[in-house]
């Protein structure tokens, strides 16, 4: 059957304001910011924006309020040509909004956010026809009932499940055994197994079901376990402006590699490079790179990524 979409996503979407400051102020201090960026955010939403820009067909399911921020969130996603037939607009509710300040000299970011008030996406609101007509399913577990149900549907259809585990939530532990590729943040990993090594955490996560588990470690790179192997890679060295969206685009980069049927280590290397490129600019979507600029795609006999031996992933 011909697939209508390459990626079907269920998760967060937000409206972000990002400003650049020299240092975070003390209480009762005034602080001037510069380079204000206003754009959409959210792990799955931003990941789908990257994938859509890279030539894949994406559909998004989520919830917004009927406020001005919700209108702007949808406007941004429509501009990216993402299918929004699965988005529900909740009346008399507010959308997720965030304001963050980035300190380029330190690499730190401080985030203030407002929780959306609309009723979470329900499992009955999933368009299973579109879900089954997709090559992959991507979720951050933000809407637990809908995400778990979608995982069950896709698993029954042999559609791979990719999870962005940004912070510890009980729903993610329910999704873990239903996932194929489980990529967690360092924050999730610390809460999941306090004091444990990245290697131990990755291996325990894999023992729950996924064929791959990985942990993004910010400036330290990433760690991953796959098919019984464990490996760590350092981060790409860049001058950091803002880390907003880096993790979101890491996941998008990994999915890009899956859809291209690349070996898993190569997909992770591309994910790490994509995330690093985003960090050079303010905002999570401004710096989404062109895959053609990745050194790993060049015909370079010394390229570690190009020539890395690994077990190939199955074509999606």
Classify the C-alpha dihedral 274-280-284-286 as positive or negative: negative
Residues of the chain with pLDDT under 50: 299-315
Beta strand ranges found along the chain (DSSP E)? 7-10, 14-20, 34-41, 58-65, 83-90, 97-103, 108-114, 137-139, 161-165, 181-185, 212-216, 222-226, 229-233
Alpha-carbon distance values, 160 to 150, 169, 194 (Å): 11, 21, 29
User: What pLDDT sits at residue 168?
Assistant: 85
User: What pLDDT sits at residue 300?
Assistant: 36
CA angle (85, 88, 93) in 5-degree steps: 155
User: What pLDDT sits at residue 23?
Assistant: 85
Query: Which residues fall within 8 angstroms of residue 145, CB to CB, at 6 or more apart?
Result: 120, 121, 122, 123
3-state DSSP assignment of residue 154? helix
User: What pLDDT sits at residue 276?
Assistant: 95
Strands 14-20 and 58-65, bridge-based pairing: unpaired
| pTM passes above 0.85 | yes
User: What pLDDT sits at residue 304?
Assistant: 39
Q: Which of 166, 209, 203, 204 is nearest to 188 (CA)?
A: 166
Q: What are the percentages of helix, strand and coil residues in the chain, rounded to 5?
A: 35, 25, 40
* DSSP assigned state of 11: S
Helix 246-259 crosses helix 264-278 at what angle (to 10 degrees)?
150
Query: Which residues fall within 8 angstroms of residue 16, CB to CB, at 6 or more apart?
Result: 37, 38, 39, 40, 41, 97, 98, 99, 100, 244, 283, 284
Give me the CATH topology for the region 11-297. Answer: 3.40.1190
Domain boundary assignment for the chain: 11-297
* DSSP assigned state of 175: H
Sheet holding 14-20, edge to edge: 34-41, 14-20, 97-103, 108-114
d(CA 159, CA 156): 8
User: What pLDDT sits at residue 316?
Assistant: 52
* DSSP assigned state of 263: B
Classify the C-alpha dihedral 308-309-311-312 as positive or negative: positive
């Amino acid at each position: 059957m011909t697939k209508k979409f390459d990626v079907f996503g269920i998760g967060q979407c937000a409206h972000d304001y990002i400003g650049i400051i020299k240092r975070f102020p003390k209480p009762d201090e005034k602080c001037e910011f510069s380079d204000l960026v206003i754009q959409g955010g959210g792990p799955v939403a931003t990941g789908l924006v990257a994938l859509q820009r890279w030539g894949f067909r994406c559909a998004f399911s989520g919830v917004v309020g009927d406020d001005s921020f919700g209108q702007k969130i949808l406007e941004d996603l429509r501009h990216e040509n993402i299918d929004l037939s699965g988005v529900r607009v909740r009346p008399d509710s507010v959308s997720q909004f965030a304001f963050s300040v980035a300190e380029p000299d330190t690499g730190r970011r401080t985030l203030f956010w407002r929780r959306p008030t609309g009723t979470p996406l329900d499992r009955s609101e999933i368009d299973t026809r579109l879900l089954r007509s997709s090559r992959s399913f991507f979720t951050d577990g933000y809407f637990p009932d809908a995400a778990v149900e979608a995982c069950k549907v896709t698993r029954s259809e042999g559609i791979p499940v990719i999870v962005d585990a940004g912070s510890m939530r009980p729903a993610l532990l329910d999704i873990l055994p239903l996932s194929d590729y489980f990529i967690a943040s360092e924050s999730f990993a610390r809460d999941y197994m306090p004091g444990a090594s990245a290697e131990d955490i990755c291996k325990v996560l894999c023992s729950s079901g996924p064929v791959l588990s990985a942990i993004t470690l910010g400036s330290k790179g990433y760690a991953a376990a796959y098919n019984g192997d464990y490996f760590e890679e350092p981060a790409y060295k860049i001058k950091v402006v803002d880390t907003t969206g880096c993790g979101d685009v890491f996941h998008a980069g990994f999915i890009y590699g899956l859809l291209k049927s690349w070996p898993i280590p190569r997909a992770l290397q591309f994910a790490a490079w994509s995330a690093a490129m985003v960090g050079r600019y303010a905002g999570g979507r401004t710096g989404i790179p062109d895959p053609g600029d990745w050194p790993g795609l060049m015909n370079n006999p010394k390229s570690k990524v190009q020539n890395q031996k690994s077990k190939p992933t199955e074509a999606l």
